[in-house]
Chains A and B, each alone.
Chain A
Amino acid sequence: MRILTYIRQVLDAEESVHIANNSVALENSKLVMDTMDEYGVEEALRLRESGVDAEIVAVAVGPARVQNALRTALAMGVDRAIHVETDVRLDPVAVSKILAQIATQEGATLILSGGQQADWDSHALGAATAERLNWPQAAWTSALELKGTTLTGKHDADEGSESFTLELPAVITTQQGLNEPRYPTLPNIMKSKKKELRKESLDQFNVAPKLKFVSAEIQVKNRLNKIIDGKDVLAAAAQLVDLLRNEARVIA
């Protein structure tokens, strides 16, 4: 079988966000593979290590720099990578059109994608891709097994979690707790340099985004920052309770 894992390159969570020309400026910031996508790569590798005969292909859409994230996926153990190069920011519904076409071309039967994107905070890509392919999906998956063509697993629902079964082909979106992604080892990094990273142009996918990005701003809510020294425990406790009751009026 063939497994696709969708890879995104995002700002490292420890980096601060800068805005320039009405959008987030990523130049000069540390960029990494989205953690949610690391779970996807790791899960694909684990499925293979559990005895599933699978080729694993990493796919990314974005500017030239996203190849670094694909290289990381290759170094983790993915077999080859496909990069659809574009400098245009596409919304997830538009990206799903690309991913679905690649899945069809590649004859993939399982797609792994991040549950929530660390940059656009979107949940949509996995479901949108499943819809375009007319596949079922499991979102926010925290455990996964594959026997034959049957997936079993666990995922988070609105209230609590659910165990499920699902027949391939299917889309799975990831979630913290699914696994602990491995670090690429030096030999695997060396090996990955010889692996195929194929570039594709955006034109052939006939993508027409319907969403327009207008502006971005950092809105910082002004906080009161009334910080009490807690050395005198009783006085500090009394002062805090008094502030919450009589100034903020948030407790009775």
Chain B
Amino acid sequence: MILIVVEHASGKVSKSTWEMVTAARELGREDPITALVLGNNVAPIAAEIAHAVDQVLVADLPLLAQYDPELWSAAVAQIATEGEASVVLIGGSRSGREYSPRVAIKVDAPLLEDVISLKANGDKLTAQHYTFLARVTETIEATGPVAVVTIKPGVFNPATPRTEAAEQFDVDLTLPTPRFKVTGKTAERSARVSLTEADIVVSGGRGVGSAEGFTQYVEALADQLGAAVGATRAIVDAGWRPYSEQVGQTGKTVQPKLYIAIGISGAVQHLSGMNKSKTIVAINRDAEAPIFKIADYGIVGDVPQLLPAILAELKK
């Protein structure tokens, strides 16, 4: 089977899971596509994903209410082994990329990380992924009975559900006792659409002038466009914005249809988090700023003057 570990949040199947379904279908193998749902009170998740795959395996346990790398890797490795999975697809989220190496070692498989393409030829898998801060596209290959693959979010087209639903089965798992104890959580949920799932991202850098400038220009434009908000490392370090909004090498990677960079010069670490966006717009005072080299559209000029004018134009 081709095993997909379902990513879900707030009672819904995440977009990344629908993208993994596409990746699984495009492999063109005869193997049934199997979704594994891990969590607690996940019946709605299982019912939702049943419309995209050939069978659904469900482990609905209180122990699985909280993600843990050792629990998840044990569960996935057990199902992959019992079901003789040929490919194990895991989301390229922080958690997915954290427990997937453990799965690879448990099932003695190669690990293909954060792939943007995946093709099967017999028992050979060929994939592409980004390296060198997303400046290089590398092709990798693995041959063997089983491979573990993490799928980069936002690259594959999300699959559309079918009307018929696949059968669901409960699975018995042998699970370890978690050793990583979570003692508190700080949510980063904002009222806006999630940064990594947004079609439009509006980001700000030092050129917005201040934390107030960010609210006045970046957040105002984001709200006008129904977009998510992003920030550069410089202004996160300056305390203007929370780390959860940081785009770049050590923050989030985004690939929206439209990325609007306001007052961002374009350090390579920032570009690595957004340079695959479909359309890039830059607004910056410095005509020599590197961001303009990767921009489709841009204005060289002052942010405090231009943004109110752009907002007014959009409201017309």
Contacts and interface: CB of A to CB of B under 8 A. Distances in A.
Interface string B277-307: 0111111000100001111111111100110
A158 to B, nearest CB: 5
Contact of B182 (A116, A159, A164, A176): A164
B1 to A, nearest CB: 20
A92 B97 CA distance: 12
A52 to B, nearest CB: 20
B276 A140 contact: no
B137 A216 contact: yes
A237 B292 contact: no
A212 interface: yes
A227 B131 contact: no
Contact of B180 (A136, A224, A250): A136
Contact of B9 (A158, A176, A243): A158
B136 A24 contact: yes
Contacts of A165: 181, 183
A166 B181 contact: yes
Contacts of A175: 250
B211 interface: no
Contact of A24 (B132, B183, B314): B132
Contacts of B141: 211-212, 214
A219 interface: yes
B100 interface: yes
B113 interface: yes
A121 B130 contact: yes
Nearest to B92: A123
Nearest to A166: B180
A218 interface: yes
A213 B140 contact: yes
A119 B131 contact: yes
B305 A233 contact: yes
B131 A13 contact: no
Given A137-B69, A240-B310, A127 B101 contact: yes
A166 B189 CA distance: 26
A243 B280 CA distance: 12
A248 B139 contact: no
B98 to A, nearest CB: 5
A231 interface: yes
Given A17-B136, A93-B110, A227-B300, A163 B184 contact: yes
B61 interface: no
B129 interface: yes
A237 B295 contact: no
Contact of B97 (A123, A130, A227): A123
Contacts of A240: 281, 297, 299, 310, 313
Interface string B232-262: 0100000000011000011100000110000
Given A229-B300, A250-B200, A223 B280 contact: yes
A121 B250 CA distance: 11
A217 B280 CA distance: 22
Contacts of B268: 13-14
B99 A238 contact: no
Contacts of A158: 9, 67, 93-95
A139 B95 CA distance: 9
Interface string A93-123: 1001000000000000000000110111111
B133 interface: yes
Contacts of A233: 301-302, 305-306, 309
B106 A131 contact: yes
Nearest to B91: A158
Contact of A127 (B99, B136, B183): B99
A177 interface: yes
A237 B310 contact: yes
Contacts of B59: none
A127 B276 contact: no
A215 interface: yes
Nearest to B136: A216
B249 A116 contact: yes
A13 B133 contact: yes
B132 A11 contact: yes
B48 to A, nearest CB: 19
A226 B296 CA distance: 6
Contact of A96 (B101, B112, B140, B185): B101
Nearest to B312: A237
13 contacts: A13-B249, A96-B105, A121-B133, A156-B243, A158-B67, A177-B243, A211-B140, A212-B140, A223-B293, A227-B300, A233-B302, A240-B310, A251-B258
Interface of A: 11, 13-14, 17, 19, 24, 36, 91-93, 96, 115-116, 118-125, 127-128, 130-132, 136-140, 142, 152, 156-167, 175-177, 210-219, 221, 223-231, 233-234, 236-238, 240-241, 243-244, 248, 250-251
| Shortest 10 CB-CB contacts between residues of A and residues of B | A230-B301, A237-B309, A210-B110, A136-B179, A128-B101, A163-B184, A176-B250, A160-B188, A124-B101, A131-B102
